[in-house]
Amino acid sequence: MDGEFGYRTLAVHGGRDDLGRLGVHAPPIDLSTTYPIADLRDAGAAFDALAEGEAEAANPIYARLLSPTCARFERALAALESAEDAVAFGSGMAALTAVLLSFPDDRRTVLGVRPLYGGTDHLLESGLLAVDVRWVEVDQIASACTPDVGLVIVESPTNPTLEEVDIAAVCAAAGGVPVLVDNTFATPVLQRPLELGAAFVLHSATKYLGGHGDALGGIVATDGERARRLRQTRILTGGVLHPLGAYLMHRGLATLPVRVRAAEACAAELARRFAADPRVDRVYYPGLAGAPRPSQMDGTGAMISIDLDGGTERAAAFMGRLEIATPAVSLGSVDTLVQHPASLTHRLVGEAGRREGEISDDLIRISVGLEDVEDLWRDFSDAL
Ligand SMILES: *Cc1c(COP(=O)(O)O)cnc(C)c1O
């Protein structure tokens, strides 16, 4: 499957190229951890190929080396991100870890643009993977790209303030340094960072790609050579995605364009109503303020943040009164989820880091689901 098809067609049919040969309609879930060896010499050659980072082999040998069910999800997501290849992991953080482990010893400085997902921020700050983070503004990237820098990390729209970072400008400023864009919020339906010059696209597939809040996973879309390195790392460190999760995420991709557009329509209407409501102090939603936007995102997405004057206490009261929306972290599910970043997702970033990312105690983040807009509005309005 490639670019000659429309996007919805790609989403429905991607990664299913071997089903005809198998004589099945739904992708089989292959739960094998090991695979019978018919010929020892052939198996040795397959082992070598997989250890080198090949995406396919005549025999998978062992499920940490290759999972046919995961491979289908990888091929499907690669097509949607306009990528040569994609490599799936057990979670978004496992995917990020593999990327961070893939840089040479003399290039272990990472430039990060805040705010990022709280877990990403905390992992970079922790020093755990022998990376040294330097926090920069977008206009400082060009001068900050010294020879020790191996990666630039950005997220757009930002989490949880929903500002758009100009991805093409970041990639131009980074020069030869690879840029990783966390595309979890936008999804490839709205934004394809590789087409803008990024080297890596990261997804927490737990969110929109899976889309139903029932499986944890991560995936990185990139070029063939970088994917090979990531597969080598995945074999060594074992951050693999379980085939059942891979099946669910692959299935999720089929409805991704339809889900994202439906949730976006609902979110855009809710954002307008929040903005017109005097009980809400500030609304964060792409394009709402009327300021010029980079042209990278084909739409506005389904994430909204609002400020309610009154800090954590008012946020807790608001969240406690919701009846349809669920107070919970995570996002991108069929149902609406509401959370307080300062208490939860961005807790470990610390107060100073949150101040730098302009994440106040008043801020509440909403992941709009697929419910009827009038029901959601009544729920939010009653809770206010
Ligand atoms: C959830 C999330 C992650 C981490 O993904 P996990 O699947 O929870 O490990 C990374 N980036 C963003 C933007 C996220 O929302």
pLDDT value at position 1?
Answer: 55
Closest CA to 180 of 81, 240, 99: 99
pLDDT value at position 357?
Answer: 78
CB atoms within 10 A of CB 371: 16
Does the CB atom of residue 117 touch ligand 1 within 6 A? yes
Cα angle: 355, vertex 283, 368; to 5 degrees = 105
The helix (H) or strand (E) run that includes residue 85 is strand 85-89
Of 72, 207, 226, 234, the catalytic one is 207
User: d(Cα 288, Cα 261) in Å, to the nearest integer?
Assistant: 17
User: d(Cα 26, Cα 19) in Å, to the nearest integer?
Assistant: 8
Atom of ligand 1 nearest to the CA of 331: 15
| Residue 64 is a catalytic residue | yes
CB contact set of 171 (below 8 Å; sequence gap of 6+): 179, 196, 197, 198
Of 182, 307, 361, 362, the catalytic one is 182
What's the pTM value of the predicted model, to 2 decimals?
0.96
Does the CB atom of residue 204 touch ligand 1 within 6 A? yes
Does the CB atom of residue 118 touch ligand 1 within 6 A? no
Return the structure tokens found at 136.
Answer: 């920069």
Work out whether strand 282-284 and strand 303-307 pair parallel, antiparallel, or are unpaired: antiparallel
Cα angle: 199, vertex 70, 195; to 5 degrees = 25
User: d(Cα 85, Cα 156) in Å, to the nearest integer?
Assistant: 22
**Mean pLDDT value of segment 20-36:** 98
| pLDDT tens-place string over residues 181-213 | 999 999 999 999 999 999 999 999 999 999 999
